[in-house]
Structure 1
Amino acid sequence: MHKQVFLLVAFLAVSSCTVLAQSEVGAATINGTVSDATGSAVPNARVTITGSATGLTRTTETSNNGLYSFTRVPVGSYDLTVEATGFKTEKRTSVSPSVGAVATIDLSLSVGTAQEVVSVTADLPVVETTRSQTSTTVTSQQVTDLPINGRNFLDFTVLTPGVVRDPTRGGDLSFGGQRGTSNSLLVDGSDSNNVFFGQTTGRAGAGRNPYSFSQDAVQEFQVNTNGYQAEIGRAGGGVINVITKSGTNDFHGTGFWFFRDKALNANSWENNRRNAPKRAYHFNQFGGNIGGPVIKNRLFFFFNYDGQRNTTPNPVFLQVAPPADALSQQAAAELSRFVAPYSNQLDNDVYLGKVDWEITASQRLSVRYNANRFKGVNFENTGVASAAEHTGNSDVSTDNIVANHTLVIGGAAVLESRFGYTRDDQPGGANSTAPEAVIRQSGTNVLSIGRNSFSPRYTNAKTYQWVETYARTIGRHSLKLGVDMNFQRIENFFPGNFSGSFTFNSYADFATRTPFSFTQGFAGPNTDGPLTRPHVNEYAFFAQDSYRATDRLTLNYGVRYDYFAYAEPSVRNP
């Protein structure tokens, strides 16, 4: 076994702003100080938050320092009410912390009776100057209203400074110039990554399916670029913290259909010059969602479906014109039967179902299931230099289920248990059983026929995750302790050259069947050949604290220990 250990993180934030960003995974926190008109703390004041859309209610009391805190709060809009003997009731409406944020609402009470109510609409600052990490929030309005081609919500990540698509990794996201394999995607607090490929589950938007989660199912997400809290790990690049939509006390649904077709497109200049028809093109995107109450204020549901049908032409032609000699012309004539266009058809279906249950005033259970089925016809190793028989179908089949249980203990502590399971199967087929033949001319690949040297192949991964987090407010300290276990069971079948691969350095060599080289893969002694099982076990323990020393000084610090264990083959050098 190999292991890697990281000990982190100490960080400091100093400011007078009223919002602290602490990367609350999959949720938010609301806290603050209650004082009187002289600025003195008001202890034992009763503080209540009530969800505007769900009726969720939580209550706590201020400490001797006048501090209160609500951790692991579902993202949404809340009304905050403060009651204390001898003071008017103070109310703040529309308190709406975003995912990963800590909204600090300080209140000053006026002398009076509890029957007198002072109501003010909360106005959270746009700039979070006390944050100890650099992050950007993509709001629900942005996810809904901003135009996007392909409906992959992760494309909105490039709205964050320093984030671009990595051209060397098929479109992975690059944070600050780092490789796209260094990132982590969290959905509803659960790991959604394929460790083997270093990409998101299903390799969405980076060489396989266009997306694994529907844009319409995403409520909002936070993009963390550096300086994360200790709760977040397993990433040297960026961490994308996503929450999906939930049902509310009102029934609500939407539907959509986007259609693009060759009939709506102009013909290309080249086709017009040759008097050729438009190439085949069909692109349909459709779906919808519905959510609402099963039992008002207690039990809610949400369901979303997103489908995509995309057909595009794939022309095939000889990349280098054949020389005029007889053998080269003979080879070109023989290869002409492989030079025929074919279609790439991409079918993607995504389903999401979610249930949220307010079991009691102190217990909440959320269960979410997401499924993705993708079929890419002639998507394997496709291109203008690949004959139809040199390609194959790409399939992606993923299932992800996450359960979050939150228990509020005595108003000042929260225990959260999170369980996740992901199945990620990615087989790639072959359209031929013949050995691969690569024909070249003058150092350039002219055409590839036969079975691709790496096909058929598959990579199947199963991920099991357990996270236990305990958060408690003690005086001016907001403590958090946790354990995060992640186990991936991987089967990878990469039959490189097991079908054989010929290389012909010229048309003439192909005509005479005189290969420059032939490569044949074989299983080594005491091995499973192209089948490997690179299982990964990940163990993490973390502790962090946010200490509000004064109204103008906040200290955020923590430590995290990560241990990675990788399976090794019994025969290292067969």
Structure 2
Amino acid sequence: MALGLCFVGGVNAQSNVSGAIVGSANPGDTITIANPATGFTRSITVGADGNYRFPALPTGQYTITDGSGTPRNVAVQVGTASTVNFGGDATTLGTVTVVGTNVVNPIDVSSVESTTILTAEQINRIPVARDTTSVALLAPGTVRGDAAFGNLASFGGASVAENQYYVNGFNVTNTFRNLRFGSIPFEGLAEQQVKTGGYGAEFGRSLGGVVNQITKRGSNEFHAGGNVYFEPESLTEDVKNTYYSNPLTPDSFGTLRSDNSHDGGWKATANAWASGALIKDKLFFYGLLSYSKMQNDAFGSTLATGNTSTETKSPTWLLKMDWNINDNNILEFTAFSDKRTDYIDSYLNEPGSFERTDYLGQRVLESGGDNYILKYTGYLTDTFTLSALAGHSEFARSVYLLSPDGTKIFYNGDISAPAQPGCPVVVDARPGYRQAITGPYFSTCNISGTTLDRIDSGDTRDQYRLDAEWQLGDHLLRFGYDVDNYESVAGEGLEGGYQWRYSTRNPDGIPNNGDEQDIVRQQFFSQGATVEVKQHAYYIEDSWHITDNFIAYLGGRWDTFENINGNGDTYVHIKDQFGPRLGFSWDVFGDSTFKVFGNAGRYALPLTPSVAVRGASASLFSREDFNFTQVDPETGSPIDPVSRGNFRYLNAETGEPHIASTVASKNLKPMYQDEYILGFQKQLNDNFSLGVRGIYRDLKAAIDDNCDYTAVLEANGFTYDPATWWTDANGEYPNLPNPGFPYCRMFNPGEDAIFETDLYGDGNLTTVTVPGARLSPKAKRTYSALEFFFDGRWDKLFMQGSYTYAKSKGNTEGGVKSDIGQDDTNVTQDFDYIELTVDTYGYLPNDRRHSLKLFGSYDITDQWTVGANLLVQSGRPLNCFGVLDRDPTAGYNPHPYGSSFMRCGTTGAGAIDDATVQRFPRGTKGRLPWTSQLDLNVVYQPNWAEGLQFKVDVFNVLNSQKVTSVIETAEDAASGSPSPTYLLPASFQQPRSVRFMVQYDF
């Protein structure tokens, strides 16, 4: 049985949806290829240089002949070139391609790209979760991202928000925050290509990696079948309980925080498919229907809230149509849906009890949508190929609530009337010792406990691209142009219209000595807009055969990004950002058994449209503090609160959008990164190959927001006096906030920023340059790694694996912030104020120093197969976040960021001034433990029933449940006292579980 995984060393001159067959023969010979499954054939004449090339071929099994001998079999995989030579000198580039069931994948000497390709057949033989990210994590240089962002991967030290995802050449990345992507029903996957670095000028808008999926397609032979996957709750182990872990809180240390022993759930998926020819050799179809259902219960028995039951339904489908118009023209159509609905029922329970009491209501989350892709390929001459693609996608992100009486509660996006039906959100942020006196404050009628995305939230993408390939003697030219326009309807408002947040003022920092005062803050927050990002790019690349054994690659890409706010005004416009790409591939012995390769490139990332919803569009955000004496036991709201007189708007008073030109620095550059790779790959024999590559990535510029309005005032000549506040030379006061004076603005950290500002609220804008050193240090992130990878294949055994030694260091993770689970892509708190940047340089959250990956399968007999998948990985670095300054005599509270600084107290009561605070630079509070996971499976394909198959996968066989993330906030935001939740586990390894499958094909 042939398998299709390969590690391709190091930019490839192939399409992102097809492959190629290349080689040499006698000049003037006619070379013919054919795909027996579809009847597709092509013939070309070998050029005077003795080389031939069949570009842009649909993936699959082909035969090839020069007319003088027996046809040879050759496999074409996405993004790679398969080499077959006829006659002539057998020492030229790409000499031999040997095809067989026990032969290792040949080295692609035409490529300088770092790519891993996995076929559906291989994925089915090893124990791996059936989703895009889990398969991508088999590749070297990938690690699982923080659990706060869902099931996402980090590629080469980049954040999880810096990847791009494609299906049949169409970009399915959810660009709103870059934290989601469109997903085909997994049963419809034919191949998945994972690009971890060095990708060519054809690809852009990514600093991390590229995942490129190819769907299954029909053939002349009719096939149909179905399967069922089931993961029972009874064979899934319990998640570990969590206990308070901060040794500086002796009253709570070691006590139970969350009893998870009754949590659990199950999942079932059913698939049915059919494929065949509507017209033999001409028109083919592949259709798939899939339905998944999950049930999960979380009891939260040690708290009075957090008791939920979640039901998830995912009716999805896929349709692939292929029309071989003639031998020179192909038309493809892909359509798929990944709609999903989560129904989350919330209950109350008595603290310490698993018994559910009052039903609070239901939260309904709708996501996913429909995608349509049309692609044309024309082989216009033997040396010139043209392809064109057009695609449209829609993705829902809506949320609504249902109260126990059936009332529908939702946010409609109208910021002028933010209050919604339902009870307000209540947050009790008081220290544990204060909650012990009165009991925690909470609502018994609030359903969600957070904000609601507006009911019509969703995204629409329209993408068009044109790609051409032209062989000119020793030069293979590829060039193209793509347009990617993305529109988001977005916004959110608090359930009940506002939030009450309880906290404690503790003047001397010593708990429970009688000087504490509980206060409550009322916060209004609502936003909503329809925003856009318009992108286009063009590229050109040349793969030049300088000699028969040496290819030089030269490419360039020019990206344009335009971000548009809810008023239709452009607030960021970056034109023709240049990304050069260079590389080489040396076939050392001329027989495709030893390749040395290298590449260097620059990659740029656009600003996500989510930034515009709050930062550049209409929003309302205000805060006011109150004293109180009583709390309503049902709503959790204070009774008869008395204002403390410090009401303030954090946005324009009427919620109108900011003036577009004031939101971002006038000299804003995109987020971009330089990358360098050098490596080699050696085939030791027909059954085994190995390779090594070194990788270095250097972030040259980042985009984030800065909220220090005092820097703008200083640059405009204002001075500060405690008696008069800020005044200019004439004694005039600034008017802020107003639509032309936003608190927060987009900039490149460490670079001088040119800001426009309406200082007095009179509509007159002034332009001033704020020195970069006044705003923040330069954004830094480097990733250096050494990867060892191998591919082994014998008669009954195949095994692949890799070991990666890597370091990820800097003062910013990138688009998101795993330290605190902040998913506000491009607007993290990292650079809001310069004080937040002190001691932030160090090892980053995605720093996993050691990663060992091994997986494969063994055919015991022709009916029984076993598979294994092993991952061993070192833990991530830890931090200690505390309050910046707690000097009780100064009353100094410069920024409302609470425990966000790289310092924390050293005594049980918490330090009360900066002199007794210990600094802990990033990553110096130790590391989480190493993790290891072994997955096993067994497959039975009985001879007595052809097409029948049974499989059992056991994940995490040893039930290792090491901690994979913890709460890193060490102090209470208001008092500075040690937080009992510091080091509390936020996520564990998934416990042992079992998945059953039965399948029948005919």
Provide the TM-score with structure 1 as the length reference: 0.78
Residues 289, 304 of structure 1: 8 Å contact kept: yes
1:189 pairs with 2:169: yes
Q: Structure 1 residues 280, 240: CA separation in 2 closer, same or farther (over 3 Å shift)?
A: closer
Q: Which residue of 1 aligns with 2:529?
A: 532
CA shift for structure 1 position 222: 1.1
The 2-side partners of 1:487 and 1:269 are apart by 45
Q: Structure 1 residues 455, 340: CA separation in 2 closer, same or farther (over 3 Å shift)?
A: closer
The 2-side partners of 1:473 and 1:277 are apart by 64
The 1-side partners of 2:365 and 2:538 are apart by 38
Cα deviation 1:488-525 (Å, max 9, x = unaligned):
1111022257711112359xxxxxxx96121123xxxx
1:437 pairs with 2:408: no
1:378 pairs with 2:367: no
- Structure 1: give runs of 5+ residues left out of the alignment: 1-16, 35-41, 84-88, 111-118, 203-211, 271-275, 320-335, 507-513, 522-528
CA shift for structure 1 position 371: 0.8
CA shift for structure 1 position 364: 0.5
Cα deviation 1:166-202 (Å, max 9, x = unaligned):
1153232101121011100011011011111213335
- Structure 2: give runs of 5+ residues left out of the alignment: 1-7, 90-96, 242-259, 404-421, 505-517, 568-656, 659-737, 740-1002
1:520 pairs with 2:524: yes
Query: Considering only aligned residues, what root-mean-square deviation do their CA atoms show, in Å?
Result: 3.3
CA shift for structure 1 position 224: 0.7
Residues 471, 480 of structure 1: 8 Å contact kept: yes
Q: Which residue of 2 aligns with 1:32?
A: 23
Q: Which residue of 2 aligns with 1:95?
A: 74
Cα deviation 1:223-281 (Å, max 9, x = unaligned):
111111111111111011110000011111231112234455689999xxxxx997673
Q: Which residue of 1 aligns with 2:295?
A: 311
- Identify the structure with bigger relative contact order (alpha carbons < 8 Å, sequence gap 6+): 1
CA shift for structure 1 position 341: 3.9
The 2-side partners of 1:479 and 1:170 are apart by 40
1:353-372 pair list within 5 angstroms: 353-372=319-338
Tell me whether 380-389 or 493-502 shows the greater mean CA deviation: 380-389
Q: Which residue of 2 aligns with 1:393?
A: 364
Residues 390, 448 of structure 1: 8 Å contact kept: no
CA shift for structure 1 position 294: 1.0
The 2-side partners of 1:383 and 1:96 are apart by 59
What secondary structure does 1:499 align onto?
strand
CA shift for structure 1 position 569: 4.9
What secondary structure does 1:159 align onto?
coil
Q: Structure 1 residues 219, 281: CA separation in 2 closer, same or farther (over 3 Å shift)?
A: same
The 2-side partners of 1:58 and 1:18 are apart by 29
Residues 308, 345 of structure 2: 8 Å contact kept: no
Residue type of the partner of 2:28? N
Cα deviation 1:82-132 (Å, max 9, x = unaligned):
14xxxxx1454221121110122222169xxxxxxxx98587843335531
CA shift for structure 1 position 380: 10
The 2-side partners of 1:262 and 1:121 are apart by 44
The 2-side partners of 1:547 and 1:124 are apart by 27
What secondary structure does 1:24 align onto?
coil
Q: Which residue of 2 aligns with 1:154?
A: 133
Q: Structure 1 residues 99, 436: CA separation in 2 closer, same or farther (over 3 Å shift)?
A: same
1:43-54 pair list within 5 angstroms: 43-54=27-38
Q: Which has the higher helix share?
A: 1
Residues 137, 144 of structure 2: 8 Å contact kept: yes
Q: Which residue of 2 aligns with 1:207?
A: none
Q: Structure 1 residues 501, 91: CA separation in 2 closer, same or farther (over 3 Å shift)?
A: same
What secondary structure does 1:414 align onto?
strand
Q: Which residue of 25, 42, 60 corresponds with 2:44? A: 60
Q: Which residue of 1 aligns with 2:316?
A: 350
The 2-side partners of 1:140 and 1:289 are apart by 15
The 2-side partners of 1:384 and 1:540 are apart by 58
* Number of residue pairs matched by the alignment: 491
The 2-side partners of 1:60 and 1:53 are apart by 21
Residue type of the partner of 1:101? T
Q: Structure 1 residues 346, 384: CA separation in 2 closer, same or farther (over 3 Å shift)?
A: farther
Q: Which residue of 1 aligns with 2:773?
A: none
Q: Which residue of 2 aligns with 1:492?
A: 490
Residues 505, 515 of structure 1: 8 Å contact kept: yes
The 1-side partners of 2:306 and 2:10 are apart by 61
CA shift for structure 1 position 67: 1.6
CA shift for structure 1 position 358: 0.3
Residues 20, 102 of structure 1: 8 Å contact kept: no
Q: Structure 1 residues 515, 348: CA separation in 2 closer, same or farther (over 3 Å shift)?
A: farther
Q: Percent identity?
A: 22
What secondary structure does 1:365 align onto?
strand
Residues 253, 289 of structure 1: 8 Å contact kept: yes
The 2-side partners of 1:96 and 1:448 are apart by 62
Residues 380, 393 of structure 1: 8 Å contact kept: no
Residue type of the partner of 1:549? I
Q: Structure 1 residues 19, 488: CA separation in 2 closer, same or farther (over 3 Å shift)?
A: closer
Residue type of the partner of 2:278? V
Q: Structure 1 residues 499, 557: CA separation in 2 closer, same or farther (over 3 Å shift)?
A: same
Q: Which residue of 1 aligns with 2:377?
A: 406
The 2-side partners of 1:245 and 1:31 are apart by 24
Residue type of the partner of 2:54? F
Q: Which residue of 2 aligns with 1:3?
A: none
Q: Structure 1 residues 468, 360: CA separation in 2 closer, same or farther (over 3 Å shift)?
A: same
Q: Structure 1 residues 554, 440: CA separation in 2 closer, same or farther (over 3 Å shift)?
A: closer
Q: Structure 1 residues 160, 474: CA separation in 2 closer, same or farther (over 3 Å shift)?
A: same
The 1-side partners of 2:156 and 2:240 are apart by 40
Q: Which residue of 2 aligns with 1:247?
A: 218
The 1-side partners of 2:135 and 2:530 are apart by 35
Q: Structure 1 residues 423, 553: CA separation in 2 closer, same or farther (over 3 Å shift)?
A: same
CA shift for structure 1 position 307: 1.5
CA shift for structure 1 position 144: 2.2
Q: Which residue of 2 aligns with 1:291?
A: 275
Residues 19, 102 of structure 1: 8 Å contact kept: no
The 1-side partners of 2:240 and 2:383 are apart by 69
